[in-house]
Amino acid sequence: MYKIYINDNPLFLIDEDNLAAWQTQYPAAFAGRYSGQVKTLFHYIDLLEKATAPRIVGIYTGDLSGLVADFRSLFKYLEAAGGLVFNTEKKALFIFRREKWDLPKGKIEPGETPPRAAIREVQEETGLDEVSIVRDLCSTYHTYREKGKRVLKRTWWYEMQTNEENLIPQIEEDIELAVWVDLPAFIEEKPEWYHSIGDVVETWSQAQ
């Protein structure tokens, strides 16, 4: 199963063997069977791109790999990487940009591995020098439009650690703040963040 955020609403691509479990988890969601006609996928994409209220949509099929390939064919595909960084006091690093809390991340450069790109982006966006990866967390997917074209971006996420404290937000990337937070308390405050960032935090929480 794949979860792809469109307009910050989740679209699930589901193997039909897992449909019942998915519907139990999301009883109010809309689900449709994939006909195999690629152009019909635009119906679901438009449904979420134009949504004015939160929506959850699922597309199910007996050929999940084929559905994923067809869906991806409608987009320019990019990959990015980023990190959930903790300091020696077990506080987590968050940035604030474009009116939402976020985690440092960015596009993978040609020839870069996702881990190397994640470390570089954290360093560039927060001013940290010494950052190391603790473990893989997850990947998230979201779509957006760029110069009139639809883009599908996969972001590789890693838990990281640093011994440094001083943070310098990268202003040229619209980052207004870079701060250390007590993560459990921060979650309780229900911060305004993208749902994909919530997924990264939830993945980390579940592993504790």
**Residue 137 Rama label (left phi>0; alpha psi -120 to 50; beta):** alpha
pLDDT for residue 147: 87
Domain-ending residue, one of 72, 97, 130: 72
State the pLDDT confidence band at 207, using cuts at 50, 70 and 90.
confident
Q: What share of the chain has pLDDT > 90, as a percent?
A: 95
Domain-ending residue, one of 72, 94, 126: 72
How many angstroms separate the CA atoms of 107 and 116, rounded?
11
* Residue 201 predicted with pLDDT over 90: yes
The domain in which residue 146 lies consists of: 78-206
How many angstroms separate the CA atoms of 33 and 203, rounded?
29
Q: Give the pLDDT confidence of 134-144 residue by residue, as tens digits.
A: 999 999 999 99
Q: Are residues 64 and 94 in the same domain?
A: no
Burial degree of 186 (CB within 10 A; 0-12, 13-18, 19+) = middle
Q: Are residues 87 and 67 in the same domain?
A: no
State the pLDDT confidence band at 93, using cuts at 50, 70 and 90.
very high
Q: Are residues 93 and 196 in the same domain?
A: yes
Q: Are residues 118 and 194 in the same domain?
A: yes
pLDDT for residue 113: 98
C-beta separation of 86 from 92 below 8 A:
yes
What's the Rg (C-alpha) of the chain?
18
Contacts of 137 by beta carbon, 8 Å cutoff, 6+ apart: 84, 157, 158, 159, 200, 203, 204
Q: Are residues 103 and 51 in the same domain?
A: no
- Find the mean pLDDT for residues 93-98: 96
- Residue 96: which CATH number? 3.90.79.10
pLDDT for residue 162: 98
State the pLDDT confidence band at 208, using cuts at 50, 70 and 90.
confident
Residue 95 identity (one-letter amino acid): I
Q: Are residues 93 and 190 in the same domain?
A: yes
Q: Are residues 82 and 116 in the same domain?
A: yes
Q: Are residues 120 and 45 in the same domain?
A: no
Bridge partners of 5, per DSSP, are 10, 142
- Find the mean pLDDT for residues 176-204: 96
* Residue 148 predicted with pLDDT over 90: no
Domain-ending residue, one of 53, 72, 91: 72
State the DSSP H helix or E strand holding residue 121, giving kind and residue range, or none if neither. Answer: helix 114-126
Contacts of 119 by beta carbon, 8 Å cutoff, 6+ apart: 83, 131, 132, 133, 160
pLDDT for residue 88: 97
Q: Are residues 65 and 87 in the same domain?
A: no
DSSP structure string for 17-85 = GGHHHHHHH-TT-EEEE--S-GGGHHHHHHHHHT-SS---EEEEES-HHHHHHHHHTTSEEEEEEEEEE
* Residue 150 predicted with pLDDT over 90: yes
Structure tokens at 125: 């966006």
Q: What share of the chain has pLDDT > 70, as a percent?
A: 100
Q: Are residues 106 and 180 in the same domain?
A: yes
Total count of domains within the chain: 2
Q: Are residues 116 and 168 in the same domain?
A: yes
Q: Are residues 45 and 113 in the same domain?
A: no
